[in-house]
């Protein structure tokens, strides 16, 4: 049985915390410099679903590229209604007739 991938939100939170710790910043320090609430940083590091602008602010403060933060994160590890459907699995009725390529 294949190994189950970790929830992308948890992995992203772990990566952000690792970068923060590598920069020797406290949660309070990162929140102050990024002009964010401390509880917001804690929630993100614990695996909540952050807004894009919040991620951009944190990545900017930590001087880390967003591509690096998301590298090898599996979007299909999300569960339930959050899990994306692959375009190859989309029902034909959602395609415009002339756009569907066999």
Q: How far apart are CA 97 and CA 72, in angstroms?
A: 34
The number of domains in the chain is: 1
Strand ranges (DSSP E) for 3-96? none
CATH number of the CATH domain containing 59 = 1.10.260.40
Helix 52-62 to helix 38-46 angle (10° resolution) is: 100
Give pLDDT tens digits for 51-101: 999 999 999 999 999 999 999 999 999 989 999 999 888 888 887 776 656
Q: How far apart are CA 102 and CA 8, in angstroms?
A: 32
Q: How far apart are CA 36 and CA 31, in angstroms?
A: 5
Q: How far apart are CA 78 and CA 8, in angstroms?
A: 7
- Is residue 3 domain-resident? no
- Is residue 100 domain-resident? no
Residue 62's pLDDT is 98
The model carries a pTM of 0.84
Provide the residue range defining the domain that includes 39.
8-94
Give pLDDT tens digits for 10-36: 999 999 999 999 999 999 999 999 999
- Is residue 1 domain-resident? no
């Amino acid at each position: 049985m294949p190994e189950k991938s970790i929830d992308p939100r948890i992995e992203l939170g772990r990566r952000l915390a690792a970068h923060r710790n590598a920069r020797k910043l406290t949660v309070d320090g990162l929140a102050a410099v990024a002009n964010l609430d401390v509880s917001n940083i804690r929630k993100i590091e614990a695996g909540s679903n952050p807004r894009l602008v919040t991620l951009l602010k944190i990545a900017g403060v930590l001087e880390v590229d967003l591509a690096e933060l998301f590298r090898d994160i599996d979007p299909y590890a999300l569960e339930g209604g959050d899990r994306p459907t692959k375009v190859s699995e989309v029902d034909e009725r959602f395609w415009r007739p002339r756009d569907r390529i066999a």
